[in-house]
A and B are shown apart, each in its own frame.
Chain A
Amino acid sequence: MKRQGIAEALRDGIAEEMTRDSSVFCIGEDIGVPGGWGGAFTVTLGLSEKFPGRIIDTPIAELGFTGMAVGAAMMGMRPIADMQYGDFLFLASDQLINNAAKMRYMSGGTIKVPMVMRAPIGATGRGSQHAQSMERYFTGVPGLKVVAVSTAYDAKGILKAAVRDDNPVMIFEHKLLYGSKGARAEPGAVDATSDIPEEDYVVPLDRAVVRREGQHVTILGWLLMAHFAAQAAEQLAKEGIEAEVIDVRSLSPIDYDTIGASIRKTGRVIIVEEGPKTGGVSAEIAAGIMEHCGESLQAPVVRVASPDVPVPFSPILENAYRPDVARIVAAARNLTQG
């Protein structure tokens, strides 16, 4: 057992998978440059020395290297593609959505595309174009699996499950949760370290996880919002409100078994999402809740999300943009007292 942050846990997970299976390789920008950073958030630091020729640094060509990952995956390789910032996924989206996601269906079930796309997201003092919550743009694409990791334990286990999966899997990571060190450390980082077992393990790609049990209200979140939801629950407990916190984790498919069981117990639900309220994943989850367990609700679904504006730069505005513990606590108070 060792204590690790997400960046370290992902690094070990990648190294272990590359050792286990020679078809696994990494492709992306600035991920293996000697004297470089090992990717923007140090996840692949040192791996190019350990795996010569298998950490492939590309030109700045997101559409191109994503397409190459799809093509290599079709030919039996298991690429782990690294999108330096999630925002750049818009450039790569043709290859992800039109090729990776559809190839199996269009071919009548004969082609496999076992690729992983990792992408960091989150508003972190970088202005509008290195900050967006990108998961919403991919959760509605049939043929893609979409997951979001908020702890080091999950990051390693989900990475391994994704590499071993025969389908394209998108893993969203949050810049404030990596625990990147040295010059790549993030101001305002949140502790997402875990005790990591020595032995091999995987975390399933289709399961939410209950982080805290409670009977008054269910709070759903993922990535940074899962941490803020847990912090909110601690505060609420002091007021006598016991919140059940669920890290949704699997964004496509969504685990309505776990979510539904909680709502049938609490009768109330708040969905917390970093990202604009309109068209977000929380809208999909809200609709899914109505279909799966709407009869158990004692009050309407509540969403706590960012306003419908681009991510601002000014720290004051950025902090106002992103849902925080206070907003979650206030929403829970309203909902449970109503």
Chain B
Amino acid sequence: MKTTSAIAAPAQDRAFLLGLYQRIVLIREFEERVKFLFLEGTMPGTIHQCQGQEATAVGVCAALQAGDYITSTFRGHGHALAKGLSVQELLDELFGATTGCCKGKGGSMHMGNMDKGMVPGIAIVAGGIPLAAGMALAFKLQKKPQVVACFFGDGAVAEGAFHEGVNMAAIWNLPVVLVCENNLYGASTHIGKVMKNPKISDRAASYGFRGETVDGNDVLAVLAAAQRAVEECRAGKGPVLLELLTYRRTGHSRRDACHYQPKDEREAWFARDPITRFAEVLLARPDVQQADLDAIKAKIEAEIQAAVVNAQQAPQPTLANLTEDVFA
């Protein structure tokens, strides 16, 4: 695992770096608040959260431009916030309100907003991979310079859809960045039980393209790797497989207490938390003080609090909405 960050040019800019920090903290605070609302019983549905994995979403999305797309999974809150969806449209969606990003018809597992470049989450494991390859095929046929970043987990690698989508992306050099967030567990099952070769990036070579394993809890390392991958894809040299090593601090879903995660493993990964690590990088700069980081967090807390109040009063669907939006 890499321990140093190759900081790309824009990443040296103070405002840019604080922007990344803001996004990471926003995702953590959002997820913690959602967890509270869910456990409290005021929020419907189920949830799959990404505490501990914030740097993967933020690093990859920061390498994309307006016009680029992402596909996501059932664990998509972080991807959505990183791609620029608003706290309000996400919370409204989680409360099933018509003002949500999918009018309350998507829910936690299908967050998305095409105007902001995010396909609603594909909650079937690996189901987004052929889809993303098809989006990239469209860009190629349309001669557009766009790129799609396709997020999936380590569990997706065992699916046939991974093989089929990745193979076709490879043979046609499609502009898709395949982003595997390897958090060591497919639901409760450790990757050691389901992979003979647990180094997921090795798979790229067998399809004839480049793969790379990156410290997924180092947002600057993720950003640098994603920038390289996006550049290659835009130059017609895609796809690229990024394996981002990270860890889920919370349960797979709902009230999962993670009893399958060994204590020493959890402690080791908690010590590599993406927020505290990035804060250390930032505080090493002469132009960033703890007060700056505190102010960012305070502002986020206030924003989320206000959004929760709004979401709880947001308009709920009427029965007429039930049969709308089936066909175009």
What's the tally of chain B residues with a CB closer than 8 Å to chain A?
A: 43
A77 to B160, CA, bound (A): 25
Report A-chain residues with C-beta under 8 Å of the C-beta of B160: 63
The smallest beta-carbon distance between A169 and chain B, in angstroms, is 10
Whether the Cβ atoms of A68 and B133 lie closer than 8 Å is yes
Contact A74 to B124, CB < 8 A, known contacts A63-B160, A107-B114: no
Which residues of A95-139 are within 8 A (CB) of B? 95, 98-99, 103-112, 114
Report B-chain residues with C-beta under 8 Å of the C-beta of A307: none
Report A-chain residues with C-beta under 8 Å of the C-beta of B168: 58-59, 61, 64-65, 68
Contact A69 to B106, CB < 8 A, known contacts A25-B141, A94-B127, A109-B324: no
Report B-chain residues with C-beta under 8 Å of the C-beta of A104: 325-328
A106 to B106, CA, bound (A): 5
Report A-chain residues with C-beta under 8 Å of the C-beta of B328: 104, 109, 112, 114, 166-167
- Within 8 Å of chain B (Cβ to Cβ): is A221? no
Contact A143 to B326, CB < 8 A, known contacts A59-B168, A70-B131: yes
* Mask of A56-80 contacts with B, CB within 8 angstroms, 1/0: 1011010111111111111111010
Whether the Cβ atoms of B138 and A106 lie closer than 8 Å is no
Contact A109 to B131, CB < 8 A, known contacts A59-B171, A68-B168, A77-B142: no
Which residues of A208-236 are within 8 A (CB) of B? none
- Within 8 Å of chain A (Cβ to Cβ): is B211? no
Whether the Cβ atoms of A61 and B167 lie closer than 8 Å is yes
- Within 8 Å of chain B (Cβ to Cβ): is A315? no
Contact A72 to B324, CB < 8 A, known contacts A58-B168, A64-B168, A67-B131: no
Secondary structure dominating the interface of A: mixed
A53 to B143, CA, bound (A): 12
- Within 8 Å of chain A (Cβ to Cβ): is B161? yes
Report A-chain residues with C-beta under 8 Å of the C-beta of B222: none
Whether the Cβ atoms of B167 and A64 lie closer than 8 Å is yes
A108 to B328, CA, bound (A): 11
Which residues of B116-170 are within 8 A (CB) of A? 119-120, 122, 124, 127, 129-139, 141-142, 160-161, 163-165, 167-168
By a beta-carbon cutoff of 8 Å, the part of chain A in contact with chain B is: 23, 25, 53-54, 56, 58-59, 61, 63-77, 79, 94-95, 98-99, 103-112, 114, 142-143, 145, 166-167
Known: A75-B135, A108-B103. 20 other contacts (CB 8 A): A25-B141, A59-B164, A61-B164, A66-B130, A67-B130, A67-B161, A68-B168, A72-B134, A73-B134, A75-B138, A76-B138, A77-B137, A77-B142, A94-B124, A94-B127, A95-B127, A99-B122, A105-B325, A106-B112, A143-B326
